[in-house]
DNA sequence: ACGAATGTTCGTAAGATTACGTACAGTCGA
DNA sequence: TCGACTGTACGTAATCTTACGAACATTCGT
């Protein structure tokens, strides 16, 4: 069986934003964007967190908002970022978000360095 | 009395995304971006919705996430989009979102035309 | 066919979000 | 100073979100 995904034209920016406005789901997108083949378990291992059932919820949010493809393949689910669709509908959005997430880490690390020692 | 706003470096992208992942708040940002002087009441009138107390909640979310400035001025609250800070931290993000919101409306209107008549 | 592997579904629960009315605090104008 | 105006604070309520364990369905390898 396969999942229902929104068509490209059915994607809505507010759904994309609220999907990515969650640390776990944003981290998922960063993992998928970094490349490589991924399934639920591999992402779960990389993030080193949460239960499978919790992730099932996050997969649905990401799928329903149009951010990822999730396709059963054997007993696994192949996961892919819908970059082409997102770039077509919202040029620059995904890159700005991914770059911003990296920037947040940098800024956070800088603040940390300042706090402990000079 | 005035409000607590995050410094530019304290802004976090996930907070920005979840703040804007709400139709009312996204609409607020579009109104502020369109220019002109605004206070709570003027935005409330333009959007033509919801109660003042509900909006007080949304002002807080937008303020705490670093999306807007909210400054008491007389008996009103001046509202301004923190475009410089957002552009500095997340280049291209705000424009991509605002453009995307417009695009969503266009796509929606096209789908509507197709549904009713040819 | 059996057992291991992958991921979903279901039930449950704690906490967050959104919404609204009423009461309140501060400011302005007459 | 009094009343109107702007917006917040508080209480309440419905709904959504996030999380997790246990049971389950499907697929793979042997």
E strands in B4-101: 38-39, 68-73, 76-81
> pLDDT, tens digit, for every residue of A29-79?
999 999 999 999 999 999 997 799 999 999 999 999 999 999 999 999 999
Centroid of chain to Cα A14 = 15
For residues A29 and A67, is the Cβ–Cβ distance under 8 A?
yes
All protein residues with a CB under 7 A from any atom of strand C: A 39-42, 44, 52-53, 55-56, 59-60, 70, 75-77; B 1, 18, 22, 24, 49-54, 57-58, 61, 74-75
How far is CA B16 from each of CA A55, B56, B82, B104, rounded to the nearest angstrom? 23, 18, 11, 19
The parts of chain B modelled with pLDDT lower than 70 are 1, 118
Does residue B6 sit in helix, strand or coil? coil
- Sign of torsion, CA A7 A27 B89 A96? negative
List the single residue in A with minimal CA-CA distance to B103.
Answer: A89
Instruction: Compute the average pLDDT of residues A81-109.
Output: 97
Please give the pLDDT value at position B1: 65
* pTM, two decimal places: 0.95
């Amino acid at each position: 069986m396969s999942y229902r995904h929104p068509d490209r034209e059915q994607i809505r920016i507010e759904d994309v934003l609220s999907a990515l406005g969650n640390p776990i789901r944003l981290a998922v997108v960063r993992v998928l964007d970094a490349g490589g083949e991924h399934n639920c378990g591999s992402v779960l291992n990389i993030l080193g967190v949460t239960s499978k059932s919790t992730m099932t919820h996050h997969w649905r949010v990401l799928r329903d908002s149009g951010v990822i493809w999730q396709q059963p393949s054997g007993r696994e689910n192949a996961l892919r970022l819908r970059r082409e669709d997102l770039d077509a509908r919202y040029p620059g959005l995904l890159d700005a978000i991914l770059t911003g997430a990296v920037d947040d880490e940098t800024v956070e690390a800088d603040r940390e360095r300042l706090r402990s020692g000079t």
